[in-house]
Chain A
Amino acid sequence: KNEVEQSPQNLTAQEGEFITINCSYSVGISALHWLQQHPGGGIVSLFMLSSGKKKHGRLIATINIQEKHSSLHITASHPRDSAVYICAVSSPYSGGGADGLTFGKGTHLIIQP
C-alpha cells in the first residue's frame, strides 16, 4: 500500500508570502492529486498530474516521478487561500481497490492579513 506523507502539517504565513507544501509517496503512481478543503467540508480538485508542472492562476504544482515527490506552490498568498490542502495518489497499490485514492493527512494553511 502506498504511503503518502505531507509537510508541513500546519503553516501560518503573512499575506503576500510564497507558500510551498510538500508531498512524498512510497511506490509508483498513475497520478497525483492536489485537493483543497475550505472550512465547512467541501473538497475540490486543484490539480491532477502525472509528470512535470501545472499552473492555474497563483497556484503551481510540480511532480518529480523519480524522487516520488510533489510540491504545491502558492504565489502572492491571500487570506482566501486559507484552507486544508490534501495530496492524494492513485495507483494499483492504493488501498480500497483499483480506483481508490490514498490520501495524505493534509496541510492546514492560514494566511494572515
Chain B
Amino acid sequence: DVKVTQSSRYLVKRTGEKVFLECVQDMDHENMFWYRQDPGLGLRLIYFSYDVKMKEKGDIPEGYSVSREKKERFSLILESASTNQTSMYLCASSFWRSSYNEQFFGPGTRLTVL
C-alpha cells in the first residue's frame, strides 16, 4: 500500500522557534509538495521539489524553506515561527512523468504557534 507519512500529527511551538516538519514517501516518487490548508482558503502550495536537492517556490513561500537531501524525504522548515503560520500542513508526492499529476497525500500536521 502506498504511503506518505509525516513526522507529527499535532505540534505546538512558540513564536520565534525553528520548526521542522518532515515528510517521507515510500513510492519512489520524484515530486514532493508542501501545502498549507486554512479555513476558507483551501490548500495553497508552499514549495515543491522534483528531484533531490531541487526546489521550487509555490504560491506562498515567504517564511518557509525546504530541504530534500534524499529522494524519499522532504522537509519544511519554519526559520522563526510566527502565529500566522498556525495551520494544517500537508505533504504530497507524485511521479514526475504522471501526465495527470495524481498526488498522494500524507495525514497532515496541525501546527499551532503560540
Q: Which residues of A contact B (CB under 8 A)?
A: 30-31, 33, 35, 40-45, 48, 50, 86, 88, 90, 95-97, 99-101, 103-106
Contacts and interface: CB of A to CB of B under 8 A. Distances in A.
Interface of B: 9, 31, 33, 40-45, 48, 50, 56, 58-59, 88, 90, 92, 94, 96, 98-108, 110
A87 B107 CA distance: 18
Nearest to A44: B105
B107 A40 contact: yes
Q: Which of A30, A48, A101 has the most CB of B within 10 A?
A: A101
Contacts of B41: 105
Contact of B58 (A33, A41, A96): A96
A48 B102 CA distance: 7
A50 to B, nearest CB: 7
Nearest to B96: A99
Contacts of B56: 96-97
A31 B9 CA distance: 30
Contact of B48 (A30, A44, A100, A106): A100
A103 B41 CA distance: 9
Given A41-B88, A43-B90, A97-B58, 10 more contacts: A30-B99, A31-B100, A31-B101, A48-B100, A86-B42, A90-B100, A95-B45, A96-B58, A105-B42, A106-B42
